[in-house]
Structure 1
Amino acid sequence: MKKLLWGMLALVFAEIAMLILIGKAIGVFYTLLLIVLTSVVGVLIAKQRGMKSYKDIQNSLQQGQPPGIAMIETFMIFIGGALMALPGFITDIIGLLFVLGITRNLFKPIIFYFLRKKMKKGNVIIVQR
C-alpha cells in the first residue's frame, strides 16, 4: 500500500514538472488546449474500442468460449481511457499505450503472469453460477 501511495505521489510531481516544462516550451494556452484535446480524443478512442471489446466478450460467450482475453483487453482499454481523461502528459502516454492494439499486446503477458501468480496464491476466486 505504501508503494502505491509513493508511486502516485511521484506521478503527481512528475506530471506537474512535465506541465511546467511543456508550458514554458509552447505556452500556457497551447498546453491547456493540448491537455483538453488529449482528454477528449482519449475518451472517444476508449469508447469506440471499448464497445468493440464488449462485443467480442459477448461473441465469445455466445460461441461457448471463455472470454478471458477479451475481458483483459476491455479492462486495459477502460484503464487507458481513464488515464487519458486525467489531465497530464505522462498519464496520457500510458493511457495511449493501453488503448492502442499494438502496444496493448505487449502488456498482456505481464497481466497474465500477474493473474496466474494471484491465482496460485488463492487471491483470485472464480465464481460460477
Structure 2
Amino acid sequence: MVRLLLFLAFLVVPVLEIWLLIQIGSVIGGWPTVALLIADSLFGAWIVRREGRRAWRKLQEALQTGRMPDRELADGGLILVGGALLLTPGFLTDVFGFLCVLPFTRPLMRRLGSWFFARRVKAMAAASPYANLGVPFPRTDGQGFDGRGVDGHGGAGSAGAPGGKVVHGEVLRED
C-alpha cells in the first residue's frame, strides 16, 4: 500500500506542480511567477535555518537534563523534510514544507506523523510471525504497555487467547 502511495505521489505531485505553475503564471505572468518561486525558496531557507538552530538547542538542552528528546528529534526530522520540500521548486511542495517547518503548524504535523507511524508499526507487528508470542504492545496513548500481544489478545498460551495453540516441549542442548 505504501509503495502504491509513493508511486502515485511521485507521479501526481509533479503533474500538479506544473499545472499550478502554469495557472499562476497565466494570472500574474511568467517572470513574477519565477520571482515568487525564488523569494519563496529564500524565505524557506531562512526559516529552515532559524528553526533548525532552535531545534538543535532544544535537543542539546534535553540531552543535558537527561530527558528523552523524542519531541526534539521529531521536530528535527520535520524540519529536515520541510527544508527538502521548500527547496523543491513548486508551490504545492512549498505549502507542505512550510507546514513541516513553521513552529505553529509543526505540532499538528508531528501528531499526524506519530499517528501514521504508530499505525504502520502495529500493522507490521501484526503481520510478523512473532505476533502471537505474548509480547506486551505499547499503548496508543503513550502510557506504557497494555499487557496484550499485538494480536489484541494475551498472545499464544495466555488465558485470553481464543484458539491459541500451546505446544509443550523441552530444549535439548548438544554440548
Q: What range describes the TM-score normalised by the shorter chain of this pair?
A: 0.7 to 0.9
Structure 1, 111-120 or 64-73: larger mean CA deviation: 111-120
Instruction: Output the CA distance in 1 between the equivalents of 2:121 and 2:6.
Output: 21
Deviations 1:9-39 (A, max 9, x none): 1000000000000000000000001111111
CA distance in 2 between counterparts of 1:104 and 1:110 reads 10
Q: 2: distance between equivalents of 1:110 and 1:47?
A: 23
SS in 2 for 1:101: coil
Q: Deviations over 1:85-109 (max 9, x none)?
A: 1100001111111111111111222
8 Å Cα contact 2:21-2:33 kept in structure 1: yes
The aligned counterpart of 1:37 is: 39
After superposition, where does 1:68-107 map in structure 2 within 5 Å?
68-107=70-109
Aligned pair 1:62/2:64, yes or no?
A: yes
Q: Which consecutive unaligned segments of at least 5 residues does structure 2 have?
A: 129-175
Matches of 2:22 and 2:56, distance apart in 1:
38
Q: Which residue of 1 aligns with 2:154?
A: none
Greater RCO (CA < 8 Å, at least 6 residues apart): 1
Structure 1, unaligned runs of 5 or more: 124-129
Please give the secondary structure, in 1, of the residue aligned with 2:68.
Answer: coil
After TM superposition, what 4+ stretches of structure 1 lie above 4 angstroms from structure 2? Answer: none
Structure in which a larger fraction of residues adopt helix = 1
Q: What is the CA distance between 1:118 and its match in structure 2?
A: 4.3
Please give the TM-score of this superposition, normalised by the length of structure 2: 0.66
Supply the distance in 2 between the matched residues of 1:118 and 1:9 (Cα, whole angstroms). 23
Please tell me whether the aligned partners of residues 17 and 92 of structure 2 are also in contact (alpha carbons under 8 angstroms): yes
The TM-score normalised by the length of structure 1 is 0.88
Q: After TM superposition, give the deviation of residue 114 of structure 1 in Å.
A: 2.8
CA distance in 2, matches of 1:94, 1:4: 16
How many residues are aligned here? 123
Matching residue of 1:10 = 12
Q: Provide the residue aligned with 1:50 in structure 2.
A: 52
Distance of 1:115 and 1:22 partners within structure 2: 35
- Contact between 1:43 and 1:82, CA under 8 Å: does it hold in 2? no
> Identity, % of aligned pairs?
33
CA distance in 2, matches of 1:2, 1:106: 25
Tell which structure's C-alpha radius of gyration is larger: 2
CA distance in 1, matches of 2:121, 2:11: 29
Structure 2 equivalent of residue 108 of structure 1: 110
Counterparts of 1:119 and 1:65, CA distance in 2: 24
Indicate the RMSD between aligned Cα atoms, in angstroms: 1.6
